[in-house]
């Protein structure tokens, strides 16, 4: 009797697992045809992407994605908020269909997912305590003064800092932007190297922070940002790119993104995803 009961439980559990897996199976186009939602994966990283009070996908990357999907005829959209470090694993595991967190297109990420054409190009800078008491402008300043920094897991600034010579012992890695800001606010670290948009947003929202001069920051050149897709969704990505090309820089786009501090100077111009995928 015990054997029968155990076998029955295992059978039910296996059936449930197979059923759950079948929901995630297939290409995004097949899921859409079956009436499934298009799941947008993002972390809380304003102004790029964040969740509204009603749970809606906010931020200019989500705004661009939603507008372009509407142009393609898709409105059945589901926001999925997660940690920054979980975005690519969630895409690969089929828990989300698109990564709209605002990721720089770099080689390591291109090896794990396919990016759309660029939606913008951006640079980095430091977020520091108000008044910039340590007079920080570059990674070399951290090294010279034996100071510490923080960055979320998966941010390019972790690698950039190490490449610049910042000792690993002086670098704190945290799950996401919220934890990075908390570390800086409480004085556990001296600086947070992040993209200009996040730095400006944080300084505008919290007067205990200050953004250093991006022109004096020594890091990587401007990086393009794209929206992530699974390789098996190539046809959908190409259709997305076609709609994106007509949308990029339009009055509709600027009306959507301007509230989140995206300006026309951030448009990618001739920069391409293909070239960006060769960069580190």
Extract the tokens encoding 86: 């979980």
Terminal Cα-to-Cα distance of the chain (whole angstroms): 60
Q: Bigger pLDDT: 220 or 106?
A: 106
Give the least confident one: 76-85, 126-135, 179-188, 210-219. 210-219
Q: Residue 77: pLDDT band by 50, 70, 90 thresholds? A: very high
Q: Residue 25: pLDDT band by 50, 70, 90 thresholds? A: low
Global pTM reads 0.77
């Amino acid at each position: 009797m015990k054997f029968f009961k155990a076998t029955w439980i295992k059978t039910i559990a296996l059936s449930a697992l197979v059923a759950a897996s079948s929901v995630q199976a297939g290409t995004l186009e097949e899921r859409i045809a079956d009436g499934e939602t298009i799941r947008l994966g993002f972390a809380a990283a304003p102004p790029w992407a964040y969740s509204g009070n009603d749970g809606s996908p906010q931020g200019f990357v989500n705004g661009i994605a939603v507008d372009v999907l509407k142009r393609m005829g898709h409105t059945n959209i589901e926001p999925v908020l997660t940690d920054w470090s979980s975005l690519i694993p969630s895409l690969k595991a089929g828990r989300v269909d698109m990564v709209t967190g605002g990721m720089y297109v770099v080689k390591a990420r291109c090896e794990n997912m396919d990016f759309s054409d660029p939606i913008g190009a951006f640079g980095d800078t430091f977020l520091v305590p108000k008044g910039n008491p340590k007079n920080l402008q570059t990674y070399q300043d951290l090294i010279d003064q034996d100071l510490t920094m923080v960055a979320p897991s998966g941010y390019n600034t972790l690698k950039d800092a190490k490449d610049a010579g910042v000792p690993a012992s002086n670098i704190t890695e945290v799950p996401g932007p919220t934890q990075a800001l908390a570390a800086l606010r409480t004085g556990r670290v001296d600086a947070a190297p992040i993209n200009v948009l996040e730095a400006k947003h944080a300084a505008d929202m919290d007067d205990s922070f200050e953004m250093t001069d991006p022109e004096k920051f020594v890091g990587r050149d401007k990086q393009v940002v794209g929206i992530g897709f699974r390789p098996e969704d190539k046809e959908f990505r190409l259709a997305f790119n076609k709609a994106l090309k007509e949308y990029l820089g339009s009055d509709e786009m600027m009306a959507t993104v301007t509230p989140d501090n995206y300006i026309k100077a951030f448009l990618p111009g001739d920069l391409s995803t293909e070239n960006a995928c060769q960069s580190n």
